A and B are shown apart, each in its own frame.
Chain A
Amino acid sequence: MVELAPPGGLPGTTAGVTEDAYRGRWSWDRVTWGTHCLNCLAGCPYRVFTRGGEVAFEEQGGTIDPVAGGVPDLNPAGCQKGSAWSVQLQSEDRVLHPLRRVGERGGGRWEAISWDDALAEIADSVLDAIDEVGPESVVFEESVEGGLLSQAPFLRLAALLGAVTLDANGLVNDLPVGQHLTFGKFSCASTVDDTFLADVLLLWHANPAYTSIPYFHYIAEARYRGAKVVAIAPDYNASAVGSDLFVPVRPGTDAALALAVCRVLVDEDLWDREFVATQTDLPLLVRADNGRYLRQRDLQRGGDEETFYLWDEVDGLRAAPRATLDLGTLRPALSGTWSVELADGTPVEVTPVADLMRRMLSAYAPEEAAAVCGVPASTIETLARMVAGKRCKILEGFNAPKYFHGDLMERSMCLLLALTGNWGRPGTGIQGLALGGLDGYLLFSMKTKKGVEEAARVLDGIERAMRTMRERDPEATDEMLGTQLLSLATSSGTTAPPVFFNYHHAGYRETWNRREWSDPTMTRSFDDYLGDAVRRGWWGGVARPGASTPPRVFFSVGTNPLRRARGGRAKLLDNLWPQLDKIVVVDFRMSATALHADIVLPAAMQYERVNVQYPITHMLRLSFSDAATPPRGESRTEWDTFAALARVIAERAAARGMHEYVDARRQTRHVDRLGDDFVVGGDFADEEVVLDEWVRDSADAGTLPQGSTIETLRRDGSIRFTGLGTFAPGLSVATSVRPDEVMTAFRWHVEDKLPFPTLTRRAQFYIDHPWFLEAGEQLPVHKEPPRMGGDWPLALTSGHSRWTVHSIGMGNRHLLGTHRGRPLVILSEADASARGVVDGDQVRVANDHGFFEAMVRVTPRVRPGQVIVYNGFEPYMFPRWEGANEVEPGMVKWLHLVGKYGHLRYLPFGWQPVPADRAVFVEVTRVEDEGEGTEVPSGAVAGTAGEERG
């Protein structure tokens, strides 16, 4: 608390005391730049003020230059989470020394040990695992927190060992699967200032008032220039308060709503036929006999598998161009049925996807959809007319992918955008995720020495590789070749989709085979589908570690699986933990996972080390965090930690007479050189040098302003990217970066008519894979969320809270003081009343999978039938340490196991099965009511075993 007093003090008071306190509080002797490297899609530049070697406070920088005339700038960029970061430096949950557990895992007893002892013990475990099982038994969880210099070191060690890293997107399920199905990629996001240019903003599966605080002003500013803001959500959330129209959709029925809007657009002839014909697969012909696209191989023996057809209104059957979206003189029919002769002379009827879409939409008349999604038919019609002919942008968070049928929701939302011609122009598109490319970071993993000449060697090599690929596929775009290159790297890299690890080693197999929790259109068991996918080689080379490779050593670096894992803490503790010889957590705080680890290594926090936020298109800036103070206690940066671990592994391997081994991919690993290889013979001795190299290489490759170095970052705090990179993630945004323009995604597709990286090379709404046909999901449709967790009356949803990014800020005293400071179950008044629950009661939330208990908050803003628990509360904040994830089975959708179908093939951070955790079905009861005849879900009984665990 700061007391204020006028100069000279208040009459009759101890004059200067309060003034001195004030001035003392806000004084400083040094200022550096800082940012927080959190998974919030922002990299807000902060000024960090230090006094006497300690961080005193931080402030939003507010120094970002405007980009485009007439468009508001990004300033001030920041939020209360960033502004309270410094509080955590001194937090009680900081880890300041290497710790080794004493007694049972999770017993809560620790001893401080030296770094030497800690690293030696870990190194021995790693070597034992390699010796006895192989390097794939050493498993690292990839992270989305901490910035690039937190992640790069352990990824580097894993790569040198031949270990496995579990794809972060398969863990946190942020992957917009429906966008990938439609566009062949998920990198669809423009810069956030593009929001300002929209006529209609649909806040859909997003609550930016909580989760995008630095960017929210663009929504308000867009309204000032006349834009309409529509909030589509089950609950009347904080973002809905400022909207023009609130569309209260029942949880999990967004596809029905979107398709009903599409139906109105088509019925009222409000759709953009030319856009649809040019950009999408809607003109492509589908066979009536088998539901597959008509392909060249159908028409001629030896024909091509990936040449598709349309029906020209003048010339009839014509191959659709693959090298471009430009149709030239072609005028494809969007309706009709024609007969074509197959190669064997058999006639078959064909019809364009557009006609199939119309048939599909016939099931979504507004009145019928209203009965499904709970949105009045008149609102649906209003919404359709509102978006027709307007520049419409969907602001989507990462909520939809967390529904079991989130892919169908997103595909339907994309169809709405297609029918209204809404991508590739300013103020349009779907604003989810998009990664820029910090080329220097990518080059780094391939460099064998420092410097520009090595960077040029690698870049020239990549160019040659792409040239060779282009010779094989002359119609491929740079984006497609970049993706192919990434795919090649994946086959020799460490990243693996976690679905197989979870299935074989973490106890999910039984859960995923519970048919009653999955979709009824599954005709076989999950086992059958997964086995089929593996047998067909759809996941060749990345289904690691296999069933016969038990994990032995598990590294969690800035991740928190016991808090996050869909399936619950108990799933991992009961299934994975007993298999592990060593669990190593590297973190700056004692997370739930750290509490159950064997060794915890203390990590330096932002403000105590140099770091950069990952490149993301939302700000399109590389933001820098400097070392304002030395790391507290014995904490170290991840670079120092893993460089030292690499050295110790090498030393202890040599002492064992172990010099090299061959990994599962038949690569020889020189373990005795590990220490030197990690730092490239000393070229990269510390993170300062590493970051400087990344920045210089990025500048040289054209993604940062020429001549940029770490000193540029140190001076300016953040730098706007000048390009999206040479490689796949950046190229997928399909647009150019210009210094004085808002960056709008997909302009290459719309303006330059470059094809999409999909099977059909068009935005693809029709997936003719046999599994999709079998499931009735060849086109987007609505399906009810499966009864995950059992047939209980309340749908549990979630979202990022206003107070933290995941669990990172959960120990922050200031932020805890801005709310009740404990986990909350947010319930509607009707549901609370029906259960005799009042605000402040302790309730049990349970289903057939598990249970947890927390305080209830009763509010009219939640719809009846819905219950919300915001993301991020640590399990130890709940009784018995049973967190909200205990009721989440973590079901994955079987269709996402499809591979080797055009764009449906694994890429790191891309296409793969991701677990669902929204619309899990539960019951809520007052804790005091137990045993009084209340029906209690079975999980609530089974879950009592957890009482012994806390």
Chain B
Amino acid sequence: MFTYSLQGLELTAEPTGVLEVEENETTARSAVYQLLGAFFASGGTTSFEKARDGLWAKELFEAATLLPFALHVGDVALPAGMDEAAFAAEFGRLFGSTELLGGARTDRAAEIATVHREYEYFGLAAGGSAPRPPDHLATELDFLQYLCFKEAASPSPRLAGSFRRAQRDFLAGHVLCWVPGMVAAAQAAGAAEPFAAMLDLVGVFVADDHGYVAALIGG
């Protein structure tokens, strides 16, 4: 057979107990991904209201406090006179039906299959009831938020390392393959605030975060 099997080997588990996750650089990265993911999830009422009330900027600023690298949040504010309908219309104009879909730029079916496998391998189901496609920017940012949180919460140093490597690889293999281009295209289309600022922010953050993780573990 030219291979061996360890089938039947009984392995004992070490009790882990309740794990408290302290806020640190990794949870900060997780929080930024969560906020960015939420912003790009839709141009709906909640997002508009947070923009109107200055909450995106406030929450991002707070989340970035513990980041291991500087992140300039900038002015994520609504321009004067932009109402909810205009906000939604600008979201639709910039992103249409496909701009936020990574797979739209390549072989979409293959891209979806690939990210599906990523999600499943790292413990997430990517079923049909998900609110957005698996290659949507918000989904990918949510996945990175999840990976960072799992790294922070992992009882096993081995597992923490696995989740950290996964962040680096997912950024390099997926997000960075298409987000910079998407950002550039949207900016070229004259993105209004707060989209222009958030586009800049997501572009800078994914690049800087990849640089940070890669510097930590190589690659």
Chain B binds chain A: yes
Given contacts A451-B120, A453-B123, A458-B11, contact A728 B163 (CB under 8 A): no
Q: Which of A442, A452, A615, A696 contacts B6 (CB 8 A)?
A: A442
- Please name all residues of chain A whose beta carbon is closer than 8 Å to the beta carbon of B106 when the two chains form the complex: none
Please name 6 pairs of A and B residues whose Cβ atoms are closer than 8 Å in the assembled complex, sorted by A.
A151-B3, A451-B122, A461-B11, A489-B5, A696-B121, A728-B4
0 or 1 for each of A454-465: is its CB under 8 Å from B? (1 = yes): 011111111111
- Please name all residues of chain B whose beta carbon is closer than 8 Å to the beta carbon of A462 when the two chains form the complex: 6, 9, 11
Given contacts A456-B156, A456-B159, contact A614 B11 (CB under 8 A): no
Which A residues between 692 and 747 are near B, CB-CB below 8 angstroms?
692-693, 696, 700, 706-707, 709-711, 727-729
Given contacts A453-B123, A707-B169, contact A494 B2 (CB under 8 A): no
A488-B9, A616-B2 given; 20 more Cβ-contact pairs under 8 Å:
A144-B2, A438-B3, A452-B166, A455-B162, A456-B154, A457-B13, A462-B6, A463-B158, A465-B9, A485-B9, A489-B4, A494-B5, A614-B3, A692-B121, A693-B121, A696-B121, A700-B162, A700-B165, A729-B3, A909-B2
A-B contact count (CB 8 A): 137
0 or 1 for each of B153-184: is its CB under 8 Å from A? (1 = yes): 01010110011011011001100000000000
Contact status B4-A159, CB under 8 Å: no
User: What is the chain A residue whose CB lies nearest that of B124?
Assistant: A451
Interface residues of B (CB under 8 A from A): 1-14, 114, 117, 120-123, 154, 156, 158-159, 162-163, 165-166, 168-169, 172-173, 219
Q: Which of B8, B11, B121 contacts A450 (CB 8 A)?
A: B121
- Please name all residues of chain A whose beta carbon is closer than 8 Å to the beta carbon of B121 when the two chains form the complex: 450-452, 692-693, 696
Contact status B1-A489, CB under 8 Å: no
- A495 interface residue, CB < 8 Å from B? yes
- A506 interface residue, CB < 8 Å from B? no
Cα A438 to Cα B1 in complex, Å, equals 13
Contact status A706-B4, CB under 8 Å: no
Q: Which of A446, A460, A463, A729 contacts B7 (CB 8 A)?
A: A446
User: What is the chain A residue whose CB lies nearest that of B160?
Assistant: A456
Q: Which of A450, A459, A492, A614 contacts B120 (CB 8 A)?
A: A450
- A812 interface residue, CB < 8 Å from B? no
Given contacts A453-B123, A457-B13, A693-B121, contact A707 B4 (CB under 8 A): no
Q: Which of B4, B7, B163, B169 contacts A909 (CB 8 A)?
A: B4
Which A residues between 152 and 179 are near B, CB-CB below 8 angstroms?
152, 155-156, 159, 168
How far is the CB of B44 from the nearest CB of chain A, in Å?
A: 33
Choose among B162, B165, B166 the residue with the greatest number of A CB atoms under 10 Å from its CB.
Answer: B162
Cα A608 to Cα B85 in complex, Å, equals 54
- A555 interface residue, CB < 8 Å from B? no
4 nearest A-B residue pairs (beta carbon): A461-B11, A492-B8, A707-B169, A445-B7
User: What is the chain B residue whose CB lies nearest that of A453?
Assistant: B123
Cα A727 to Cα B7 in complex, Å, equals 13
How far is the CB of B75 from the nearest CB of chain A, in Å?
A: 36
Choose among B4, B14, B117, B123 the residue with the greatest number of A CB atoms under 10 Å from its CB.
Answer: B4
How far is the CB of B120 from the nearest CB of chain A, in Å?
A: 6
Q: Which of B2, B10, B122 contacts A168 (CB 8 A)?
A: B2
- Please name all residues of chain B whose beta carbon is closer than 8 Å to the beta carbon of A438 when the two chains form the complex: 3
User: What is the chain A residue whose CB lies nearest that of B163?
Assistant: A452
Contact status A452-B162, CB under 8 Å: yes
- Please name all residues of chain A whose beta carbon is closer than 8 Å to the beta carbon of B2 when the two chains form the complex: 39, 144, 168, 435, 614-616, 909
How far is the CB of A618 from the nearest CB of chain B, in Å?
A: 12
- Please name all residues of chain B whose beta carbon is closer than 8 Å to the beta carbon of A435 when the two chains form the complex: 2-4
User: What is the chain A residue whose CB lies nearest that of B150?
Assistant: A453
Contact status B11-A706, CB under 8 Å: no
- A142 interface residue, CB < 8 Å from B? yes
- A213 interface residue, CB < 8 Å from B? no
Which A residues between 538 and 582 are near B, CB-CB below 8 angstroms?
none
Contact status A464-B5, CB under 8 Å: no
Q: Which of B9, B122, B123, B159 contacts A489 (CB 8 A)?
A: B9
- A823 interface residue, CB < 8 Å from B? no
Contact status A707-B173, CB under 8 Å: yes
- Please name all residues of chain B whose beta carbon is closer than 8 Å to the beta carbon of A406 when the two chains form the complex: none
Contact status B3-A492, CB under 8 Å: no
Contact status A464-B14, CB under 8 Å: yes
Cα A492 to Cα B9 in complex, Å, equals 7
Q: Which of A450, A459, A696 contacts B158 (CB 8 A)?
A: A459
- Please name all residues of chain B whose beta carbon is closer than 8 Å to the beta carbon of A756 when the two chains form the complex: none
Contact status A452-B159, CB under 8 Å: yes
- Please name all residues of chain B whose beta carbon is closer than 8 Å to the beta carbon of A441 when the two chains form the complex: 3
Interface residues of A (CB under 8 A from B): 39, 142-144, 148, 151-152, 155-156, 159, 168, 435, 438, 441-443, 445-446, 450-453, 455-465, 485-486, 488-489, 492-495, 614-616, 689, 692-693, 696, 700, 706-707, 709-711, 727-729, 908-909
Q: Which of B6, B13, B117, B154 contacts A485 (CB 8 A)?
A: B6
- Please name all residues of chain A whose beta carbon is closer than 8 Å to the beta carbon of B13 when the two chains form the complex: 457, 461
State the main secondary structure of chain A at its contact with B: helix
User: What is the chain B residue whose CB lies nearest that of A495?
Assistant: B5
Q: Which of B9, B120, B162, B166 contacts A446 (CB 8 A)?
A: B9
- Please name all residues of chain A whose beta carbon is closer than 8 Å to the beta carbon of B219 when the two chains form the complex: 706-707
- Please name all residues of chain B whose beta carbon is closer than 8 Å to the beta carbon of A492 when the two chains form the complex: 7-10
- Please name all residues of chain A whose beta carbon is closer than 8 Å to the beta carbon of B159 when the two chains form the complex: 452-453, 456, 460
- Please name all residues of chain A whose beta carbon is closer than 8 Å to the beta carbon of B7 when the two chains form the complex: 155-156, 159, 445-446, 489, 492-494
User: What is the chain A residue whose CB lies nearest that of B169?
Assistant: A707
Q: Which of B3, B4, B123, B168 contacts A452 (CB 8 A)?
A: B123
Contact status A460-B156, CB under 8 Å: yes
- Please name all residues of chain A whose beta carbon is closer than 8 Å to the beta carbon of B6 when the two chains form the complex: 442-443, 445-446, 462, 485-486, 489, 493, 727
Cα A270 to Cα B162 in complex, Å, equals 52
Choose among B9, B114, B172, B219 the residue with the greatest number of A CB atoms under 10 Å from its CB.
Answer: B9
Contact status A692-B117, CB under 8 Å: yes
Cα A460 to Cα B3 in complex, Å, equals 21
User: What is the chain A residue whose CB lies nearest that of B117?
Assistant: A692
Given contacts A456-B158, A700-B165, contact A486 B120 (CB under 8 A): no
How far is the CB of B23 from the nearest CB of chain A, in Å?
A: 23
User: What is the chain A residue whose CB lies nearest that of B7?
Assistant: A445
Contact status B123-A451, CB under 8 Å: yes
- Please name all residues of chain B whose beta carbon is closer than 8 Å to the beta carbon of A442 when the two chains form the complex: 3-6
- Please name all residues of chain B whose beta carbon is closer than 8 Å to the beta carbon of A706 when the two chains form the complex: 165, 168-169, 219
Given contacts A460-B14, A706-B169, contact A452 B122 (CB under 8 A): yes
How far is the CB of B25 from the nearest CB of chain A, in Å?
A: 21
User: What is the chain B residue whose CB lies nearest that of A689?
Assistant: B117
Cα A929 to Cα B219 in complex, Å, equals 74
User: What is the chain B residue whose CB lies nearest that of A706?
Assistant: B165
Choose among B2, B9, B165, B172 the residue with the greatest number of A CB atoms under 10 Å from its CB.
Answer: B2
- Please name all residues of chain B whose beta carbon is closer than 8 Å to the beta carbon of A696 when the two chains form the complex: 121
User: What is the chain A residue whose CB lies nearest that of B2?
Assistant: A614
Contact status B165-A727, CB under 8 Å: no
- Please name all residues of chain A whose beta carbon is closer than 8 Å to the beta carbon of B4 when the two chains form the complex: 435, 442, 486, 489, 727-729, 908-909
User: What is the chain A residue whose CB lies nearest that of B159?
Assistant: A456
- Please name all residues of chain A whose beta carbon is closer than 8 Å to the beta carbon of B123 when the two chains form the complex: 451-453
User: What is the chain A residue whose CB lies nearest that of B172?
Assistant: A707
- Please name all residues of chain A whose beta carbon is closer than 8 Å to the beta carbon of B114 when the two chains form the complex: 709, 711
- Please name all residues of chain B whose beta carbon is closer than 8 Å to the beta carbon of A151 when the two chains form the complex: 1, 3
Cα A459 to Cα B1 in complex, Å, equals 23
Cα A555 to Cα B163 in complex, Å, equals 41
- Please name all residues of chain B whose beta carbon is closer than 8 Å to the beta carbon of A486 when the two chains form the complex: 4, 6
Contact status A461-B5, CB under 8 Å: no
- Please name all residues of chain B whose beta carbon is closer than 8 Å to the beta carbon of A461 when the two chains form the complex: 11-13
User: What is the chain B residue whose CB lies nearest that of A442?
Assistant: B6
Q: Which of A148, A168, A489 contacts B8 (CB 8 A)?
A: A489
User: What is the chain B residue whose CB lies nearest that of A152?
Assistant: B3
- Please name all residues of chain B whose beta carbon is closer than 8 Å to the beta carbon of A693 when the two chains form the complex: 121
How far is the CB of A480 from the nearest CB of chain B, in Å?
A: 16
Contact status A155-B158, CB under 8 Å: no
- Please name all residues of chain B whose beta carbon is closer than 8 Å to the beta carbon of A495 when the two chains form the complex: 5
Q: Which of B1, B168, B173 contacts A155 (CB 8 A)?
A: B1
- Please name all residues of chain B whose beta carbon is closer than 8 Å to the beta carbon of A39 when the two chains form the complex: 2
